[in-house]
Amino acid sequence: MPDRKVDHLLIGGGLASANCARWLREEGARGSILLVGREPDPPYNRPECSKGYLRGEEEREETFFRPNEWWAEQDVELLLRTSVTALDAERRKAKLSNKQEVEFDTALLATGANVRRLNVDGCHLEQIHYLRTLGNADAIREAVADAEHVVLIGGSYIGCEVAASISKLGKRATIVMQEQQTLERGFGASAGTFFQRLLEEHGVTVHGEDELERFEGSERVERVITRGGLELVADAVVIGAGVTPDVQLAKQAGLELGERGGVRCDSRLATSAAGIFAAGDICEYESLVHGGAHVRIEHWDVAFNQGKTAALNILGRDVAHTEVPYFYSVFADWGELEYVGPAYAWDEEVVRGSFADRAFTNWYLQDGVVKAALTFGRSDELDAARRLITQRTALDQAQRTALADVDSDLQQL
Ligand SMILES: Cc1cc2nc3c(=O)[nH]c(=O)nc-3n(C[C@H](O)[C@H](O)[C@H](O)COP(=O)(O)OP(=O)(O)OC[C@H]3O[C@@H](n4cnc5c(N)ncnc54)[C@H](O)[C@@H]3O)c2cc1C
């Protein structure tokens, strides 16, 4: 016998679950909603962990998805510091770490992602940090307060954003990364060079085409040694080496997984088990705007919007998730990038505006078809980019020339 029964079980205490709860209520769900999350904090906006919250400019409560009283007002039960330890997809039952068994009618699986850990010599020394949670941000903020030199491992979003925040706090930030240019894996070498210069101009040192070899120190980290032979003084280290979707529970429940490591879903975000949906970082869904390709995106806006789509489908509305994935990244108060796509591969880049003027949209095309657009200071062009990505038709030479011309009207393309 289960200990209790709920109408809607939301597994994971992040953004996707939170926004699903919100939309279930906004769309008139009357049944019981239980949100189970293993972190001590209520659902919050994780991006602040590398930005305002890390720099001490924002209070903890300001990062919360909604104020604490909102959950009770909405009659959504929050069960924090609690994990779902097993899921029986057929019988629709879940076991919790508090030993309770919960029966449900529908469930959302939104377990997010875990940081990729680097197992090198010295990795257990003190003041080597990863960043995923508010608790991690607290620990980094404390470490940075006492540090002069902070080394970032990885030149992608976390490495760049944390380097910017630390530099803004007046500390010396040094990035070590495999890439030649920061952020080049997602955006290519030209845009990568632009972002790297932006960081360097603000005092960040970047060592590309190198790799972490080991950490040295007695109790706490003192030096970072790289494969290329660098010995970098480090009072603290933050590792941003990517994340892996947390599909442990999905695997245990026998749900179908996808090629990108996530939980395979259809365009309605339904998993292979009836009544169970997925959203956010783990969700590998059939994207109709990408011609039915399965995509999985680890970004805020996608988790947010998928929470809504999942809620609508939990309520039987039968709607496809057709948002063009959007993401952003912020370099302290020096600027912000925005991107729609994603382009997993491209054979042409077209720049509209200029890197030198710090106002550009970089378009990524494959066989003449717009796959993605990255903008810095030209956000107004994102709507046209969304339309062109959805359109999926090849642009001719004249259209590609117009794409590059800031005086041409993108609506005409
Ligand atoms: C430091 C940082 C900065 C970021 N900045 C940006 C940014 O600038 N722009 C952007 O677009 N995106 C950014 N992101 C990414 C964005 O925050 C994520 O894509 C988004 O939070 C994903 O939401 P989610 O709900 O899928 O997963 P998560 O936010 O990871 O939430 C999942 C939750 O489920 C919990 N959980 C897992 N398994 C269980 C279980 N079995 N039982 C109970 N609970 C469980 C986890 O502990 C976690 O709390 C950033 C991420 C980080 C870490």
Ligand 1 pocket check for 12: Cβ under 6 Å: yes
Overall pTM > 0.75: yes
Q: Using a 6 Å cutoff on CB, does residue 14 contact ligand 1?
A: yes
Q: Which residue in 100, 50, 29 sits closest to 300, CA to CA? A: 50
Angle subtended at Cα 240 by Cα 127 and Cα 121, rounded to the nearest 5 degrees: 55
Tens of pLDDT along the chain (413 residues)? 789 999 999 999 999 999 999 999 999 999 999 999 999 999 999 999 999 999 999 999 999 999 999 999 999 999 999 999 999 999 999 999 999 999 999 999 999 999 999 999 999 999 999 999 999 999 999 999 999 999 999 999 999 999 999 999 999 999 999 999 999 999 999 999 999 999 999 999 999 999 999 999 999 999 999 999 999 999 999 999 999 999 999 999 999 999 999 999 999 999 999 999 999 999 999 999 999 999 999 999 999 999 999 999 999 999 999 999 999 999 999 999 999 999 999 999 999 999 999 999 999 999 999 999 999 999 999 999 999 999 999 999 999 999 999 999 999 89
CA of 229 to the centre of ligand 1 (A): 35
- Token pair 């980290």 in the structure block, residue: 221
Instruction: Report the separation in Å between the CA atom of 184 and the middle of ligand 1, taken as the mean of its atom positions.
Output: 23
| Residue whose CA lies nearest to ligand 1 atom number 45 | 12
The closest-lying atom of ligand 1 relative to the alpha carbon of residue 329 is 8
Of the candidates 9, 18, 81, the one whose C-alpha atom is nearest the C-alpha of residue 253 is: 9
Binding site membership of 132 for ligand 1 (Cβ less than 6 Å): yes
Each residue's pLDDT tens digit, 316-369 = 999 999 999 999 999 999 999 999 999 999 999 999 999 999 999 999 999 999
Distance 42 CA to ligand 1 centre (A): 12
Q: How many of the other CB atoms lie within 10 Å of CB of 321?
A: 25
Give the type of residue at 41.
Answer: D
Q: Is the CB of 197 under 6 A from ligand 1?
A: no
The preferred substitution site among 111, 116, 336, 339 for testing ligand 1, maximizing ligand atoms within 8 Å of CB, is 111
**Number of Cβ atoms within 10 Å of the Cβ of 68:** 10
For residue 112, report the distance from its CA to the centre of ligand 1, in Å. 5
Which 3-state string (H, E, C) describes the chain? CCCEEEEEEEECCCHHHHHHHHHHHHCCCCCCEEEECCCCCCCECHHHHHCCCCCCCCCHHHHECCCHHHHHHCCEEEECCCCEEEEECCCCEEEECCCCEEEEEEEEECCCEEECCCCCCCCCCECEEECCCHHHHHHHHHHHHCCCEEEEECCCHHHHHHHHHHHHCCCEEEEECCCCCCCHHHHHHHHHHHHHHHHHHCCCEEECCCCEEEEEECCEEEEEEECCCCEEECCEEEECCCEEECCHHHHHCCCCECCCCCEEECCCCECCCCCEEECHHHEEEEEHHHCCEEECCCCHHHHHHHHHHHHHHHCCCCCCCCCCCEEEEEECCCEEEEEECCCCCCCEEEEEEECCCCEEEEEEEECCEEEEEEEECCHHHHHHHHHHHHHCCCCCHHHHHHHHCCCCCHHHC
Give the residue from 335, 337, 345, 347 showing the smallest Cα distance to 299. Answer: 337
Amino acid at 196: Q
Tokens 């007695």 appear where? 218
Atom of ligand 1 lying closest to residue 54 CA: 1
Cα 413 to ligand 1 centre (Å): 36
